[in-house]
Amino acid sequence: MRPVIVVSQLRKTYGTGETAVHALRGVDLTVWPGEYVAIMGASGSGKSTLLNMLGCLDVPTSGKCLLDGFGVGRLNERQLALLRNRKIGFVFQSFNLVPRVSALANVELPLVYSGLRRAARRRRALAALDLVGLSDRARHLPNELSGGQGQRVAVARALVTGPAMLLADEPTGNLDRASTEDVRP
């Protein structure tokens, strides 16, 4: 068995010279399949920065990062997009749903980019919505959903491609206690 995430000596520095901020100073991390890992720390301790690196949204200043066996540093833009699409499911603190389209279309979106046909897309998106208990809200626009429902749509969107890892950056940070219970796995 190979680890899903291998990170070694990962560094990220924002700014240069006097004002440089070292968000990450040599992080080492290994996550195996099936593991459930929580990263905790004070505000500004670099949790989000690390997750952005793992989600291929940002590039590290130095250090290595292997996702499901792929060295992120060596991939070109197209391969990175593919990796994000196939291997990573990302849930944001602020949901980040596309506001103009329905919940169903939001969940379908990753499948559009992986080149699935319409019928298959619809089936898998509905199944994912069903998994988070929102199949009756499929036609609603994001602003017609409550915070908890919106985040559950985001979770469904992250799960719909069957990714190797699910990264969630404070998924309940914007929600009240009751809604948090909704999102909890």
Please give the residue ranges that form the binding site for other proteins (CB under 8 A). 52, 55-58, 77-78, 81-86, 88, 90, 92, 96-100, 109-110, 113-114, 157-158, 161
Q: Give the nearest distance from C-beta 82 to other proteins in angstroms.
A: 7
Q: Give the nearest distance from C-beta 177 to other proteins in angstroms.
A: 27
Cβ closest to other proteins, residue 77 vs residue 136: 77
Q: Give the nearest distance from C-beta 36 to other proteins in angstroms.
A: 22
Q: Give the nearest distance from C-beta 49 to other proteins in angstroms.
A: 10
Cβ closest to other proteins, residue 30 vs residue 114: 114
Cβ closest to other proteins, residue 5 vs residue 159: 159
Cβ closest to other proteins, residue 101 vs residue 178: 101
Buried b (16+ CB within 10 A) or exposed e, 133-152: ebeebbebebeebebbbbbb
